[in-house]
Amino acid sequence: MVLEMLNPMYYKITSMVSEVVPFASIAVLLLTGFLLLLWNYENTSSIPSPGYFLGIGPLISHFRFLWMGIGSACNYYNKMYGEFMRVWIGGEETLIISKKDLKENMEILIEKKRCSIITAEKLEDCMDFATELILAEKRGELTKENVNQCILEMLIAAPDTLSVTVFFMLFLIAKHPQVEEAIVKEIQTVIGERDIRNDDMQKLKVVENFIYESMRYQPVVDLVMRKALEDDVIDGYPVKKGTNIILNIGRMHRLEFFPKPNEFTLENFAKNVPYRYFQPFGFGPRACAGKYIAMVMMKVTLVILLRRFQVQTPQDRCVEKMQKKNDLSLHPDETSGLLEMIFIPRNSDKSLEH
């Protein structure tokens, strides 16, 4: 009796479900189409990038930077999407660039600064470091090239980056004894047994090329971050005012601008490398202000060390296999226990291990 009473109800419910299911399918299809439309709308930029997809893409790119570190994440995205691409960090659109002709843009900015000084009603309103340099040029104390170079060096200069750079250099010397031999030979020819002097700096060409190649092959600072102050176009891509820009100079230094970009060899600097392709100290108004001091310190340090010691590392330990941390700057992982090197006094069998 109960089954006979429920049976008509069963058929009624079944007929209602069969009418609702097509409606639900249509609703799902419409919702999916709307989401795809929104996705495409948010991703209309012509700049290569990961998909936006309702903000999931920006969330993934943000956490990738937190997880991998800035330098490693930049390399990952440039390899995936090309040398000019965009991501989102903290919800802000950010460009990652590993190629760009920089010197011309920097000189344009300096010329704009010169014009603003000339047209300023009150000079004190535009006084800053760049203005002081330009005024010194007008007084005849600096040349135009001096001003450009000083402004180019205003980003970072610190003992930490210098010491880590020299550390990487010593590991590279240990792995490339022919380079060490060439450096020592130049030191003996240029300096001999006397103390190093200021006028020796320009004569140490092999040492200088070794420093440049070390910073190219194993940089400590391998990216530069900027923010667009106005709408612009870079490499044909529109860049909106306020966009964050990360110039991936570490990857740029591994591109086709060098004869053997993936090898450590002084051949990469056997000829003059165009300035715009090699930016180990950054560029523009906020580049490293201590470039020349750093170069002198690195040359003096290498001369003093290599004249007294031969550098070796334990077997199979090299820069390439060294565990590193890459965030705003690249450092060896001091917890890895693979950072030892051996200093052998020249003309002696005694050795010092550090």
CB-based contact 78:86 (threshold 8 Å): no
> Strand 232-234 relative to strand 342-345: parallel, antiparallel, unpaired?
unpaired
- High-pLDDT (> 70) share of the chain, %: 74
If you average pLDDT over every residue of the chain, what do you get?
76
Q: Is 288 annotated as a binding residue?
A: yes
**156/347: higher pLDDT:** 347
Residue-wise pLDDT for 114-143, tens only, equals 888 888 888 777 777 788 888 888 888 888
* Residue 9 predicted with pLDDT over 70: no
- High-pLDDT (> 90) share of the chain, %: 13
Question: Could you tell me the pLDDT band of residue 16, with boundaries at 50, 70 and 90?
Answer: very low
Q: How many CA atoms, within 13 angstroms, populate the side-chain half-sphere of residue 283?
A: 25
Domain extents for the chain? 46-97+222-279, 109-146, 158-220+289-354
Q: What is the pTM of this model?
A: 0.56
Question: Could you tell me the pLDDT band of residue 182, with boundaries at 50, 70 and 90?
Answer: very high
As given in the structure block, the two tokens for residue 58 are 């920006």
Looking at 89-103, 119-133, 172-186, 262-276, which range is the least confident one?
89-103
The number of residues in the chain equals 354
- Give pLDDT, residue 181: 93
